[in-house]
Structure 1
Amino acid sequence: MAYWQIAAGSNQRSYDDRFLDHGIAFVGGTSQRETMRTVKIGDVVILKQGMSRIRAVGRVVERDGQHSGDGGKDWLKDFDGWDLGGWCYVDWCVPSSPVVTSGLTRSTIQGVNQAHLIAEADRILATVPVKEPEDEPRKTDRVDDEVLTRGLIDFGLRPAAAEDLTVALRRIRLLAGFYLGRPWHLTKEHEARTFLTVPLLLALGWAEQRMQIELNVPGVGRADIACFRKPVRGYKDDPDECSIIIETKGLSEGLHYATGQANRYAAEFPTCDVVIVTNGYCYKAYKRSATDKSFPEKPTAYLNIRDPRTRYPLDPTNTDGALAVLKMLIPT
């Protein structure tokens, strides 16, 4: 029996709740996935927070004839744009609060041989009940560009614009693939915004004079992209004409923590209907409620341009897919 430590993302893209909810641990990256393949039934896994806290401890178990795999779960292939396909099943024991400790490392997944960590893991396993896992997200279907453009034409997009959109989607996929093939820190939010997001907006029919880049929002900051119903001539004259706020992030950043930032911008624009958080090829869209005028905590729809789906792979029950996002992005 071996002991392992594992991280569920970083501070900016933590997904430990997915580990615990579904009774699973998963990783991305070639070397990390190779390590995951060596994990055996009965091994003990320590889920860490940073290098000083234990979030949970679990034992690797078999379900439906499998205890681990590399691929085979669609929802892990598109975890907000990341492929985290190396996985194992774990019966997690979750303390009421994280346990402070020492000796954990920065590694995503690594063997543990420190006596005090092993003793702490054994203590948690012996004293904390196993958390019952929930069902994993159901499978979603891919949507090809013809289906997307046909749906947008039915929605009101001009056929000529649909042709431009098809070309733009192909170019964005090629460039995003290039960005993902090099160190991710090189593609910051400015590159994602300039070379991936703005070309999509132009292809959907937005005029340059109706978009404002890094719009100064007094008391809040600068909104990365604000889309208006008419040409922008000045902030004081146009706040009631803003329809979409878009927050862009670099490839190495998660999309979850950007939502609150975008919502603070949108609060200054009472007629803003949609908030978008994107890394240039993945888009989380939040639509304002018609009743209480608030934005939901969970995304309304999700689009991965590199792999468009009918529904959001991480929450297909509650969240719409690619076509819904593109419809929200069409100029009003």
Structure 2
Amino acid sequence: MDIAGKKIWQVAAGDTDRNYTDLCLYWDVIVNGPGSEGRWPECENKLRQEWELSSRKISDLRRFAEEMTDGDLVVLRMGTTDVLGVGVVVGEYLWNEEFGDVDGWDLQHVRRVKWLWKYDGTPKRFDTYTLKFGDTVQSIDSQPVMDWVHSFSAEILSTKRPLTRLPDPSKDVGWEDIAEYLFDHGVASNAIGKITNEIDELVRISKWYQRTGGPSEAETVAYLAIPLLRSLGWTPQKMAIEWGGVDIALFSTLPRVDNNLTVVVEAKQKGYACLNAQSQAKTYAEQEGRTDCNRLIVTDGLRYGVYFRQDGKFPNEPHAYLNLTRMRNAYPLLKCKGAKEAFLFMSADWVPQVM
């Protein structure tokens, strides 16, 4: 492939709090948002009038959907120094609902990219501000970056692999289906009744926070996480708040000591990437004397990622994911189970089968 004269764009892969580089590289995409109002340009008026989105962000979406064209080059960046991937745009603009919850961001605006070069754990690093800060999509005029891209070997540029197939559409799942699933997996009828009574209120509160601004971390714990966990069978005696640095500690039995700790719950304020809290939760769970701690739950009150220990280790990706405002049967972007399994995995009666 001859790249001489091709337009080169830099595209941000999130920020230091919410980094979706690996998602872009795995699925052969770049993404942009907000995308919950539908396809571009049909969404433009709503974004201007109801969201009061800035003209600058509107222009950013226009560049992404209209100005970027098939055959252009893309440099995937983090900050102003690091390049994580270089690829070529393939085809036209897409809108894909599966990217509607990328750790809390609605990024349904999608372009396909065949990645020619990917970082192998260490990014290509340039001097500070070599790459532009700010908008998601910007043209590149940095000579060091352009020189580096143009230095790629013929072998890299001749990559002929097919694009990764985008995930099959997931489906909304209703509470009746979730309740039936929990019953089939051994959750008692009275417990399901408690969850049923609680879930409507939790969803209502979650949507209110979504409309009016997120809860603080303390509100996340008090108004959302604790009521949900109580409804899932955890009793106050077996729940400790701010226990040794752990936001919510759940115990298999009394007393509340290290060797009875079974779940670490780490809460984040809405607007922050809750899945990033996995590393902090894992640190608490793996402290000496806590070998029976077999689950991690990370949450911003609206979204819950559940991890359980397998072969003595916690994985980087959740086993199940739940968004109270967007309950789905699966989350293929995360390669994990959906709302039904998340409720089950968070319940007091459930124990991981493989440790």
Q: Secondary structure at the match of 2:112?
A: strand
User: What is the TM-score when the length of structure 2 is the normalising length?
Assistant: 0.78
Measured at CA, do residues 89 and 124 of structure 1 come closer, stay the same or move farther in structure 2, by a change above 3 Å? farther
Distance 1:228 1:298 in 2: 23
Distance 1:250 1:35 in 2: 31
1:229 counterpart (246, 252, 255): 252
Distance 1:265 1:189 in 2: 18
CA contact (8 A) 1:95 1:124 kept: no
1:170 aligns with 2:200: yes
Q: For residue 295 of structure 1, report the CA deviation from its aligned partner.
A: 2.3
Deviations 1:77-104 (A, max 9, x none): 1223321101111222326541415343
Q: Secondary structure at the match of 2:337?
A: coil
Distance 1:170 1:34 in 2: 38
Distance 2:62 2:231 in 1: 41
Q: For residue 275 of structure 1, report the CA deviation from its aligned partner.
A: 1.1
Q: For residue 9 of structure 1, report the CA deviation from its aligned partner.
A: 0.9
Q: Secondary structure at the match of 2:317?
A: coil
1:150 aligns with 2:180: yes
CA contact (8 A) 2:23 2:333 kept: no
Distance 1:149 1:260 in 2: 31
Distance 1:264 1:163 in 2: 35
Deviations 1:251-278 (A, max 9, x none): 2222343222212211242222211112
Q: For residue 76 of structure 1, report the CA deviation from its aligned partner.
A: 0.5
Q: For residue 213 of structure 1, report the CA deviation from its aligned partner.
A: 0.6
**Cα RMSD for the two superposed structures:** 2.7
User: What is the TM-score when the length of structure 1 is the normalising length?
Assistant: 0.82
Measured at CA, do residues 56 and 328 of structure 1 come closer, stay the same or move farther in structure 2, by a change above 3 Å? closer
Distance 2:306 2:160 in 1: 32
Equivalent position amino acid for 2:114 in 1: D
Distance 2:291 2:174 in 1: 35
Match of 2:79 in 1: 50
The worse-fitting range, judged by mean Cα deviation, of 1-10 and 143-152 is 1-10
Distance 2:242 2:86 in 1: 44
1:89 aligns with 2:106: no
Deviations 1:105-155 (A, max 9, x none): 332423325352673475156764348443333332322100111222333
Q: Secondary structure at the match of 1:48?
A: strand
1:123 aligns with 2:123: no
Match of 1:191 in 2: 219
Measured at CA, do residues 42 and 126 of structure 1 come closer, stay the same or move farther in structure 2, by a change above 3 Å? farther
After superposition, residues 249-260 of structure 1 pair within 5 angstroms as 249-260=268-279
Measured at CA, do residues 229 and 118 of structure 1 come closer, stay the same or move farther in structure 2, by a change above 3 Å? closer
1:13 counterpart (18, 21, 40): 18
Match of 1:107 in 2: 134
Distance 1:175 1:327 in 2: 22
The worse-fitting range, judged by mean Cα deviation, of 298-307 and 124-133 is 124-133
Match of 1:219 in 2: none
Q: Which runs of 5+ in 1 are unaligned?
A: 217-221
CA contact (8 A) 1:24 1:89 kept: yes
Q: Which runs of 5+ in 2 are unaligned?
A: 1-5, 35-46, 48-57, 350-355
1:27 aligns with 2:64: no
Deviations 1:220-250 (A, max 9, x none): xx11111113355xx5xx3222221111122
Q: For residue 34 of structure 1, report the CA deviation from its aligned partner.
A: 4.1
Aligned length: 311
